[in-house]
């Protein structure tokens, strides 16, 4: 199996690369960290592949999403040329990593929790997504229909996490604070916002299961378990054996109030195996 993997040095990309290598597949990784721009490959390269997985994008934590709106232009260019490349090279199978940020913010407000279903995004009449990053991913999903002749899997990860994630993201930032036994323990926002945490191993295994079983269309990658940031802080500090004061920072970037998946479609072909408690234990151990 010949595989093109863009963004293979990023958090999701490097874990996917390791899993694909473990299968003995022939993987070509393209990443700016290696001096290779996926945009150049999409524009000028016509080498054949059996499968393409597109992870390359300008990403970051909440501060990056809110503070780098012009990153949308780069992401849109990458996605548009990815679709052109797929059509030009007749690549039979492809994966596009969208995001839970593509869901309408109107469905993620304070009040009763609403688990997000794939059909909550109507490409004919989409609601406003989360920031320009969500807008780029929503547009990327719409562009997928132009990769004619390619069987396309569209994945919408929720809050992916793992031991080696950059601590610009909430989970590793909480782990670092707990390891350092920080007191007070800072939490962006009021602590009541919920997220749906899925371990990177489950995210990768779900991606490969979708490829193996030829799953197409959008699929949520999440567990359906809602965890507030206060609850996550309690979990990581309890696991390290101390009880700090929590200091909430309501003025810090913190995104929508609720972001939790309905994982029913995912569970039709893969069931996440790593609980949040186990993921915390692994991260504290590493």
**Digit-coded pLDDT (tens) for 92-140:** 999 999 999 999 999 999 999 999 999 999 999 999 999 888 888 999 9
pLDDT in tens, 155-201: 999 999 999 999 889 999 999 999 999 999 999 999 999 999 999 99
Whole-structure pTM value: 0.94
pLDDT of residue 170: 94
The average confidence (pLDDT) of the chain is 93
pLDDT of residue 145: 86
Q: Is the pLDDT of residue 148 over 90?
A: no
pLDDT of residue 254: 75
pLDDT of residue 178: 98
Give the pLDDT band of residue 237 (cuts 50, 70, 90): very high
The mean per-residue pLDDT over the stretch 233-256 comes to 94
List the domains of the chain with CATH numbers: 2-162+197-224+257-274 (3.40.50.720)
pLDDT in tens, 215-227: 998 999 999 999 9
Q: Is the pLDDT of residue 62 over 50?
A: no
DSSP the chain: -EEEEETTTSHHHHHHHHHHHHTT-EEEEE-GGGT--HHHHHHH-----SEEEE------SHHHHHH-TTHHHHHHHHHHHHHHHHHHHT-SEEEEE--GGGS-GGGSSSSS---B-GGG--SSS----SHHHHHHHHHHHHHGGGSTT-EEEEEEE-EEE-TTS-TTSHHHHHHHHHHTT-SSEEEEBSS--EE-EEEHHHHHHHHHHHHHTT--EEEEES----EEHHHHHHHHHHHHT--PPEEEETTS----SEE-B--TTGGGT------HHHHHHHHHH-
29 within 8 A of 17, measured Cβ to Cβ: yes
The mean per-residue pLDDT over the stretch 14-27 comes to 98
The mean per-residue pLDDT over the stretch 253-269 comes to 94
């Amino acid at each position: 199996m010949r595989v093109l993997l863009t963004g293979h040095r990023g958090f999701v990309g490097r874990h996917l690369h390791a899993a694909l290598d473990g299968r003995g597949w022939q993987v070509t990784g393209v990443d700016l960290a290696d001096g290779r721009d996926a945009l150049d490959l999409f524009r000028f390269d016509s080498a054949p592949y059996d499968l393409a997985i597109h992870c390359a994008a300008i990403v970051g934590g909440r501060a990056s999403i809110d503070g780098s709106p012009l990153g949308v232009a780069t992401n849109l260019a990458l996605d548009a040329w990815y679709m052109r490349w797929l059509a030009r090279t007749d690549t039979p199978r492809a994966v596009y990593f969208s995001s839970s940020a593509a869901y309408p913010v109107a469905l993620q407000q304070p009040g009763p929790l609403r688990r997000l279903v794939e059909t909550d995004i109507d490409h004919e009449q989409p609601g406003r997504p989360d920031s320009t990053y969500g807008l780029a991913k929503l547009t990327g999903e719409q562009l997928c229909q132009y990769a004619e002749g390619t069987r396309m899997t569209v994945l919408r990860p929720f809050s992916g996490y793992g031991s080696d994630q950059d601590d610009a993201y909430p989970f590793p930032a909480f782990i670092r604070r707990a390891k350092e036994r920080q007191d007070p323990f800072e939490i962006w926002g009021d602590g009541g916002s919920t997220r749906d945490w899925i371990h990177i191993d489950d995210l990768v295994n779900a991606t490969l299961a979708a490829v193996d079983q030829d799953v197409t269309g959008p699929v949520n990658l999440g567990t359906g378990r809602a965890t507030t940031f206060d609850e996550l802080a309690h979990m990581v500090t309890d696991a390290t054996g101390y009880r700090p004061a929590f200091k909430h920072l309501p003025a810090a970037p913190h995104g929508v109030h609720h972001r939790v998946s309905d994982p029913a479609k995912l569970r039709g072909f893969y069931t996440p195996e790593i609980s949040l408690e186990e993921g915390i234990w692994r991260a504290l151990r590493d």
